[in-house]
Amino acid sequence: MKKVAVIILNYNSWRETLNEITICVNVLNMNYKDIIVVDNASPNDSALNLKKESGEKGFIFLQSKENKGYSSGNNIGLRYAYDNKYEYALILNNDILFDDKMLVEKMLDIFSKNNHIAVVNTDVFSPDGHMFNRDAKKPTFFDYTLGTLMYRKRGRLIEDLGGYAYIYRPQGCCMMVDLNKMNEIDYMDEHTFLYFEEPILAERLLKKNYRCALCTTSKIIHNHSTTINSNMDRRKRRHVVHKSFRYYLREYRNFSTLQINICIFLNCLKMLVEQ
């Protein structure tokens, strides 16, 4: 099998991270030595506990001196994996549940379907069985505004090519990346602190004619945003979302200032309604 590293980013939730490591070892049959944990400058005792556990179990522990966000934290793990000759990396949130023992093998197999595939993820479900949007199609200005409800359906429609399908952007909570291709695009854009990392990554890959793919024969359960919600109040979360959204639309989609402001306004109303 190809050399695969698992990367788990931790912030304030070391117990959940240790539980995720146990799942990776017991379900995915991963070796502790191939699991990389990055603590993103947690202000609690996460680093102390994870460093101690890494000495006992043998997983790799890396510590960021400053929390610069999701992309920056994961880039620390990705660069370490690349420098240590791993070919692929499975990026996992620490609140992911799965029971498919063949998950890694299935995701690896999809990379062999087309050498332009750079990222693979599975379908993602909430604990209550709701499927998160696959984002199979690249959203347009209409999709971000008047067509939001229709995109919820359109974004889930795929052409199954026999165990996999092409999609616009990956699901960052559980995605396997080709490290050579990630190194080629200089990894993830660190200008956003949180949110919209996946579509930004998709655009960076598209510039190199690389694709994202969905494994249709496996799925995971994501207890969505438990860490985020426990560490960020709603007002700050809205601010971070809109700042990242604005950056993505301006730098990667070339939307006009008017288009961006309309998208931000409607997204703000959507978040207020969903509270």
Q: Which domains are assigned to the chain?
A: 4-274 (3.90.550.10)
Mean pLDDT of 109-123: 97
Between CA 107 and CA 96 the distance in angstroms is 16
Model confidence pLDDT, tens digit, residues 153-180:
999 999 999 999 999 999 999 999 999 9
pTM over 0.85: yes
State whether the Cα torsion 217-129-231-241 is positive or negative.
Answer: positive
Q: Are the CB atoms for 202 and 110 separated by under 8 Å?
A: no
Model confidence pLDDT, tens digit, residues 196-214:
999 999 999 999 999 999 9
Between CA 170 and CA 197 the distance in angstroms is 9
Is the per-residue pLDDT at 1 higher than 60? no
At 34, the amino acid letter reads: D
Model confidence pLDDT, tens digit, residues 229-269:
556 778 899 999 999 999 999 999 999 999 999 999 999 88
- pLDDT at residue 53, rounded to an integer: 98
Beta pairing, strands 88-92 & 211-222: unpaired
Between CA 204 and CA 136 the distance in angstroms is 17
Between CA 89 and CA 272 the distance in angstroms is 36
Alpha-carbon distances of 122 from 88, 134, 223, 232, rounded to whole Å: 16, 9, 15, 27
For the chain, the residue count is 275
Burial of 132 (0-12, 13-18, 19+ CB in 10 A): middle
What is residue 33's DSSP assignment? G
State whether the Cα torsion 71-204-150-216 is positive or negative.
Answer: negative
Q: Are the CB atoms for 43 and 126 separated by under 8 Å?
A: no
Range in 16-20, 39-43, 126-130 the model is least confident about? 126-130
Mean pLDDT of 219-227: 78
**Residue recorded with tokens 């791993």:** 86
